[in-house]
Amino acid sequence: MATLTSAFSPGVNSVPAVRGLPFIGNLLDFRRDRLSLQDNAAKVGPIARLHLAHIPLYVVTDAELAHEVFVVHADKYKKSRALQFLRPMLGDGLLTSEGATHKRHRKLLAPAFAPKRLAAYGEVMVDETKRQLTGWRNGARIDLAHEMMEMTLAIAGKTMFGADVRRDATAVAEGLELGMRAHQATLTSPLQVPFEWPLPRNRQMRKAVKLLDDVVYRLIAEGRARGTDKGDVLSILLLARDEEDGTGLTDREIRDEVMTLLLAGHETTANALTWTWFELARNPAALARLREELAPFGQRSVTTDDLPKLPWNAAVIDEAMRLHPPAYITGREALEDITLGGHRLPKGSLVLLNIRGIHMREDYYRSAKSFAPERMLPDAKKARPRTQYLPFGAGPRVCIGSHFALLEAQLALATMVQHASLRMLSEHVVPEPLVTLRPRGGMPAVVERH
**Applying CB under 6 A, does 175 fall inside the site for ligand HEM?**
no
| Listed ranges 213-221, 361-369, 377-385, 397-405: which one lies at the site for ligand HEM (CB under 6 A) | 397-405
Instruction: Write the CA distances from 123 to 129, 225, 308, integer angstroms.
Output: 10, 26, 16
341 binds ligand HEM (CB under 6 A): no
For residue 43, give Cα distances in angstroms to 189, 198, 242, 375: 26, 40, 48, 24
The only residue of 173, 327, 413, 435 in contact with ligand HEM, by rule CB under 6 A: 327
CB closer to ligand HEM out of 178 and 390: 390
Q: Residue 399 interacts with ligand HEM (CB under 6 A)?
A: yes
277 binds ligand HEM (CB under 6 A): no
Selected range binding ligand HEM among 376-384, 393-401, 417-425, 442-450, rule: CB under 6 A:
393-401
- Give the footprint of ligand HEM on residues 103-132 (CB under 6 A): 106
Residue 208 makes contact with ligand HEM by CB under 6 A: no
Cα separation, 280 vs 319, in Å, equals: 11
Contact region with ligand HEM (CB under 6 A), list: 8-16, 280-288, 386-394, 419-427: 386-394
Cα(317)–Cα(405) distance, rounded to whole angstroms?
Answer: 11
Let me know: does 445 contact 278? Beta carbons within 8 Å.
no
Is residue 73 close enough to count as binding ligand HEM by CB under 6 A? no
Least distance to ligand HEM from the beta carbon of 35, Å? 16
Q: Which position among 6, 268, 274, 276 is part of the footprint of ligand HEM (CB under 6 A)?
A: 268
CA-to-CA distance for 299 and 296, rounded, in angstroms? Answer: 9
CA distance 272 to 437: 9
Q: Which stretch binds ligand HEM (CB under 6 A): 5-13, 161-169, 189-197, 267-275?
A: 267-275
Closest CA to 109 of 123, 126, 97: 97
Choices 18-26, 207-215, 266-274, 362-370 (CB under 6 A): range interacting with ligand HEM = 266-274
Among 157, 391, 439, 442, indicate the residue that binds ligand HEM (CB under 6 A): 391
**Binding of ligand HEM at residue 261 (CB under 6 A)?**
yes
Among 47, 55, 95, 443, binds ligand HEM (CB under 6 A): 95
* Binding residue (CB under 6 A) for ligand HEM from 326, 348, 373, 439: 326
Instruction: State the Cα–Cα distance between residues 295 and 299, nearest whole angstrom.
Output: 9
Q: Which strand ranges, in their side-by-side order, compose the sheet holding 77-79?
A: 47-52, 55-60, 350-353, 330-334, 77-79
Window 241 to 260, contacts with ligand HEM (CB under 6 A): 260
Pick one of 269, 276, 304, 421: the residue that binds ligand HEM (CB under 6 A).
269
Q: What is the DSSP letter of 138?
A: T
Kindly tell me the sign of the dihedral angle through the C-alpha atoms of 2, 3, 9, 12: positive
Residues 214 and 23: their CA atoms lie apart, in Å, by 44
Question: CB nearest ligand HEM: which residue?
Answer: 401
State which of residues 27, 182, 400, 417 lies at the interface with ligand HEM (CB under 6 A).
400
Angle at 100 between CA 347 and CA 159, to 5 degrees: 115
3-state secondary structure 342-359: CEEECCCCEEEECHHHHH
Which residues here bind ligand HEM, judged by CB under 6 A? Answer: 94-95, 106, 260-261, 264-265, 268-269, 272, 326-327, 330, 391-393, 397, 399-401, 404-405
